[in-house]
Amino acid sequence: MPELDPATTALLTVECQRGVVGEESALPELAKEARDSGMLGRVAALVDAAHGAGVQVLHAVAERRPDGRGANANARLFRAAGKLPVRQLSGSRAVEVAAPIEVAEHDLVVRRLHGLSPLAGTDVDPLLRNLGIRTLVVVGVSSNIAIPNAVFDAVNLGYRVVVPGDAVAGVPAAYTAEVIRNSLALVATITTAGALLEQWAPAR
């Protein structure tokens, strides 16, 4: 993997929030995979290293208003989410970034009330452009939906995308490797969390 310039690189965590990957998750199978696979710990380590290396960190959080206004209802996933015992409601603990990930003062937290993608229809793209970002490192959940959406949207917007394969998760666990191999590897640079940590550690 080529060297990434911290000045033009950003780290995007996707849906690494309490109500998704935390102990009180609405999706316990996904949360268990995120923890048991070590993904959540690796994301936290990458965020910490990015902070030290001067790499901009953005946290993409999915949430909805208590009244559901403006939220999608055009897919089974959205309808099912509205019936879960834990809902990703604005202002609730469910939409806080999950431990052990640390949110620094200069991090950007981008919240979306609709759709499947952390980029489409959100502030992520204009924020990245205003910061002069050209390379986006994507981590988090899930490899089933939000991660592919983020990667494809970023590529379509002209960003170079890097995916540390051991810092994303989905269910079933085997699906993550398949989607990386058969889809994401065609459009993004696939690496490991360790390789990125080695790059970012000397600047800390």
* Omega within 30 of 0 (cis) for the link into 172: yes
**What pLDDT does 202 receive?**
67
CA 119 to chain centre: 11
**What pLDDT does 82 receive?**
65
Q: What is the mean pLDDT of each run of 10 residues along the chain (204 residues)?
A: 92 97 89 97 98 97 88 71 72 94 98 93 97 98 97 98 98 97 98 97 60
**What pLDDT does 90 receive?**
86
**In this structure, what token pair is assigned to residue 147?**
């991660």
Q: Look up the pTM and report it.
A: 0.94
Query: What CA–CA distance (Å, rounded) separates 137 from 187?
Result: 13
Judging by beta carbons within 10 Å of its beta carbon (0-12, 13-18, 19+), is residue 76 exposed, middle or buried?
exposed
**What pLDDT does 73 receive?**
72
Report the 10 Å Cβ neighbour count for 144.
16
Strands 56-62 and 189-191: unpaired
Altogether, the residues listed in the chain come to a count of 204
Asked whether 9 and 55 are in contact (CB, 8 A), the reply is yes
Query: What CA–CA distance (Å, rounded) separates 143 from 179?
Result: 7
Q: Which residue has the tokens 């970034």?
A: 97
